[in-house]
Amino acid sequence: MRPLAVGVDFGTSNTVIAVVDQEGRSAVLPVQTRAGASSTLPSMLCFRPNDIDRTARPVSSAGADAMADYLARTGPARLVQSMKSFLGSKTFTDTRMFSQVFTLEDLIGTLLTHLYEATSSQGFVADTPLVAGRPIRFAGPNPDDALAQTRLTEAFRLAGRAPDRFGLEPEAAAYAFARKVTGRHLVLVADFGGGTSDFSVVEVEADGAQPKITPLAQTGIGIAGDRFDYQIVYHAVCPALGMGSVFRPEAKALPIPLWIYANFSSWHQLSVMNTRQNLRLIDDILKSADNREAFEGLVHVIRNEEGFSLFQAVSRVKQALTSQDRAQLRFKAGPVEIDNVVTRSDFERWIADDLDNIATTTEQALTRANVRPSDITRVFMTGGSSLVPAVRNQFASRFGAEKLVGGDEFSSVAQGLALMGVP
């Protein structure tokens, strides 16, 4: 049966596609992989050279299959992740995958093509109302909003067709929330993604067959799950890889530049550090580094593109700390082996400034909507980082724990986008 509408939530970490059926019910389409079905497609690509024709377009895989192909590689392979983080950046234009040049639009379009194939949705995506999600504010220090949305539109077009419209991700989550309640609610929607956190104050009237959603204010900030990962790498990994030590290009000792570690700690920046220019500079530093063995560990990760393994280890720590007071961080980088305990109190101290910025952005949404925290009847928290205890505690203390609701943390936005597209 052909659906009434389709919603695609292209995320920094995961991508989800959902539909609304003829009865008005929303559902996520399962993503078929070699290991079985999943509700999400991790937003990553693996490229390998075409063995038949090395000058042809590289062979690609996506999601869990890309992860498996990269880890099992016996020859050249490139892993691409966090593509959404570059959408608003004017400095990222293209990258070379072996013999071929790919723009950012090409990369995202390739991911979406794999998504449609893995969900067998190509047939109806072509002529069914399609709503794509976008954050209130794209990731990056000074993101160009118009450029980001133009790129995203073109990526969808390359995968088959441009969206009929874009829906703000927290507003879409409000549509999903409205299907679960009755009556009138003044809701703060808090959507914590991989690259951005978005907040929307909405009025929800859910007495009729079709809920009425009235947005009152939206705010967003480029701080979310990836930033939390950054803090773990920067504080728990980088000191073991030479951060804080010195090198001696001449007689005078100089600190190893912190920008190297800042880029190293961010997955989407680390993934583009393996360039001839960067490696030449890093090699020059290595020659006269005091703590040569530690710095060699950093060089090893960059040269051998082991950032994926590093961030997998960090992600396991972050997930463990949602239910435990401490977690073990284990990672080997060339001559350096890291085996440290990370406590939840450490982690919460490292992300304290990020949480303050999230709180400020939340207050801005309330101010623009001209409502007080006591006026909010529900706080609908969605996205993976909504499960971080420090995040939940912040909202519980501000609005009351009894007002916090969640569920479908990884799929509510996609389902809401599909609901927004119903004619």
What average pLDDT does this structure show over 265-270?
Answer: 87
Indicate if 308 and 249 belong to the same structural domain: yes
**How far is the C-alpha of 313 from the C-alpha of 327, rounded, in Å?**
11
- Tell me: the pLDDT tens digits for 358-382? 999 999 999 999 999 999 999 999 9
Q: Are 200 and 171 within 8 A, CB to CB? A: yes
Indicate if 67 and 12 belong to the same structural domain: yes
The pLDDT of residue 192 is above 80: yes
Asked whether residue 380 is assigned to any structural domain, the reply reads yes
pLDDT category at 423 given cuts 50, 70, 90 is: confident
**How far is the C-alpha of 224 from the C-alpha of 192, rounded, in Å?**
6
Asked whether residue 344 is assigned to any structural domain, the reply reads yes
- Best CA proximity match to 77, nearest among 94, 100, 52, 60: 60
Asked whether residue 413 is assigned to any structural domain, the reply reads no
- Tell me: the pLDDT tens digits for 328-356? 999 998 898 999 999 999 999 999 999 99
- Tell me: the pLDDT tens digits for 66-123? 999 998 988 889 999 999 999 999 988 888 888 899 999 999 999 999 999 999 999 9
Indicate if 20 and 155 belong to the same structural domain: yes
Number of domains in the chain: 3
Indicate if 202 and 247 belong to the same structural domain: no
Q: How many CB atoms lie within 10 A of CB 325?
A: 10
Residue 215: per-residue pLDDT: 94
Indicate if 330 and 397 belong to the same structural domain: no
Indicate if 31 and 11 belong to the same structural domain: yes
Beta-carbon contacts of 303 under 8 Å, excluding residues fewer than 6 positions away, are: 274, 279
Instruction: Give me the percent of the chain exceeding a pLDDT of 90.
Output: 79
Torsional class of 408: left (φ above 0), alpha (ψ -120 to 50), beta (otherwise): left
DSSP run (H or E) holding 166: strand 165-168
Asked whether residue 32 is assigned to any structural domain, the reply reads yes
Asked whether residue 176 is assigned to any structural domain, the reply reads no
pLDDT category at 314 given cuts 50, 70, 90 is: very high
The sign of the dihedral angle between the CA atoms of 308, 309, 310, 312 is positive
Six-digit token string for 107: 């990369």
**How far is the C-alpha of 9 from the C-alpha of 289, rounded, in Å?**
45
Indicate if 212 and 358 belong to the same structural domain: yes
pLDDT category at 209 given cuts 50, 70, 90 is: low
Backbone angles phi, psi at 68, to 5 degrees: -65, -40
Q: Are 5 and 421 within 8 A, CB to CB? A: yes
Q: Which amino acid is at 301?
A: V
The pLDDT of residue 56 is above 90: no
Full domain range(s) for residue 200: 182-223+354-406
Q: Is 272 exposed, middle or buried (0-12, 13-18, 19+ CB in 10 A)?
A: middle
**How far is the C-alpha of 388 from the C-alpha of 193, rounded, in Å?**
12
What average pLDDT does this structure show over 10-36?
Answer: 95
pLDDT category at 267 given cuts 50, 70, 90 is: confident
Q: Are 206 and 181 within 8 A, CB to CB? A: yes
Indicate if 319 and 374 belong to the same structural domain: no
Asked whether residue 264 is assigned to any structural domain, the reply reads yes
Residue 406: per-residue pLDDT: 86
Residue 368: per-residue pLDDT: 97
The pLDDT of residue 208 is above 70: no
Weakest-pLDDT range from 117-126, 149-158, 173-182, 187-196: 173-182
- Best CA proximity match to 26, nearest among 386, 420, 423, 379: 420
DSSP designation for 339? E
Indicate if 279 and 214 belong to the same structural domain: no
Q: Are 9 and 112 within 8 A, CB to CB? A: no
User: Which of 313, 332, 350 is the endpoint of a domain?
Assistant: 350
The residues with which 168 forms a beta bridge, in sequence order, are: 134
Q: Which residue has the tokens 């007002």?
A: 403
Backbone angles phi, psi at 221, to 5 degrees: -150, 145
Q: 386: domain CATH number?
A: 3.30.420.40
The pLDDT of residue 52 is above 90: no
- Best CA proximity match to 175, nearest among 31, 387, 24: 24
Indicate if 26 and 158 belong to the same structural domain: yes
Indicate if 247 and 206 belong to the same structural domain: no
Q: Are 327 and 321 within 8 A, CB to CB? A: yes
CA distances from 229 to 79, 152, 401 (A): 18, 25, 26
User: Which of 283, 315, 350 is the endpoint of a domain?
Assistant: 350
Backbone angles phi, psi at 172, to 5 degrees: -60, -40
Q: Considering the chain, what is the average pLDDT of its residues?
A: 93
The pTM score is: 0.90
Asked whether residue 45 is assigned to any structural domain, the reply reads yes
Q: In what order do the strands lie in the sheet with 184-192?
A: 212-221, 197-205, 184-192, 378-382, 404-405
- Best CA proximity match to 230, nearest among 82, 366, 100, 359: 82
- Best CA proximity match to 377, nearest among 202, 248, 206: 202
The pLDDT of residue 231 is above 90: yes
**How far is the C-alpha of 144 from the C-alpha of 46, rounded, in Å?**
27
Indicate if 302 and 191 belong to the same structural domain: no
Six-digit token string for 421: 């597209």
Asked whether residue 100 is assigned to any structural domain, the reply reads yes
